[in-house]
Structure 1
Amino acid sequence: MVAPVMPWLTDSTEHLDALLGALADAGASGVTILPLHLRGPVKPLFLGWLARYRPALVPRYEELYGSRAYAPDAYGRWLRDRVAPLLERHGFGDRSGHRAGRTAPEREGAYPVGSMPAATPDVAAPAMAQPTLF
């Protein structure tokens, strides 16, 4: 999952292309891309951060999000159109972001070393008497 994609911060073709390339190299079998949403108390916190570190973007975010928590549909369509050729370039195929014929590896050895939890032997739980209320 690629989320959140932040307008004017992480939605450039260059940024998304590099990210999708890294995901493909890491063996991702599919990608879902979601724009930033600013629900509840997150919105004023994020806008405060934006005002401090990227003040020129505050009016653009206020215009884009207004009183909404989610980016408008037009931005979502724009982002999907931007990402479509990048998904294709990196082998994710159709617009859903899934590689044709690719599934997650079944064998533990197919995953990078250290990415799987350590195996634990099957150990039976100790026998306990069922507690009673009375």
Structure 2
Amino acid sequence: MLPLLSDAADQLGATVRRIASAGARVVEPVVLRLPAGTREWYLEWLVQAHPQLVGRYEELYDGAGLPSPQYEGRITEQIGELCRVYGMACGAPEPVRVRPRAAQLTLV
């Protein structure tokens, strides 16, 4: 999810609806991260494509390239509600534990 570019309520709704119609059962919402290297490249692009958003991005992201917890929480909550509407789970799926096919051999 790209802050201020793809986070409008109608955009989120359309995205989750399309994901559900494609047969997905789980959505894991992720707000764009901007670690060093990526941040410089992205902000350079943003200056060219959407210069009016640069200041807001600088306010929204911390020095490590993470969005503010309040913003991320709001977006995650919105997507979670949309997932419930479309009958999908929201969040990281539980890891699948696979049992080994054979017992571990002893080295000594």
Q: Scaled by the length of structure 1, what TM-score is found?
A: 0.64
CA shift at 1:81, angstroms?
A: 2.0
Superposition pairs of residues 30-41 of structure 1, within 5 angstroms: 30-41=26-37
Instruction: Report what 2:56 is aligned to.
Output: 60
CA shift at 1:30, angstroms?
A: 0.7
- Hey, which of these two has a bigger chunk of helix by percent? 2
Instruction: Report what 1:114 is aligned to.
Output: none
Instruction: Report what 2:41 is aligned to.
Output: 45
Higher relative contact order (CA 8 A, sep 6+): 2
Counterpart among 90, 96, 115 of residue 91 in structure 2: 96
Counterpart among 3, 8, 31 of residue 7 in structure 1: 3
Q: Is the 8 A contact 2:29 2:91 kept in 1?
A: no
Instruction: Report what 2:68 is aligned to.
Output: 72
CA shift at 1:90, angstroms?
A: 1.2
The letter of the residue matching 1:70 is L
Q: In structure 1, list runs of 5 or more residues that go unmatched.
A: 99-134
Q: Is the 8 A contact 1:87 1:97 kept in 2?
A: no
Q: In structure 2, list runs of 5 or more residues that go unmatched.
A: 94-108
Instruction: Report what 1:123 is aligned to.
Output: none
CA shift at 1:96, angstroms?
A: 3.2
Superposition pairs of residues 111-122 of structure 1, within 5 angstroms: none
How many percent of aligned residue pairs carry the same amino acid?
A: 29
- CA gap of 1:26–1:71, structure 2 versus 1, over 3 A, is same
CA shift at 1:48, angstroms?
A: 0.5
- CA gap of 1:11–1:58, structure 2 versus 1, over 3 A, is same
Bigger radius of gyration, 1 or 2? 1
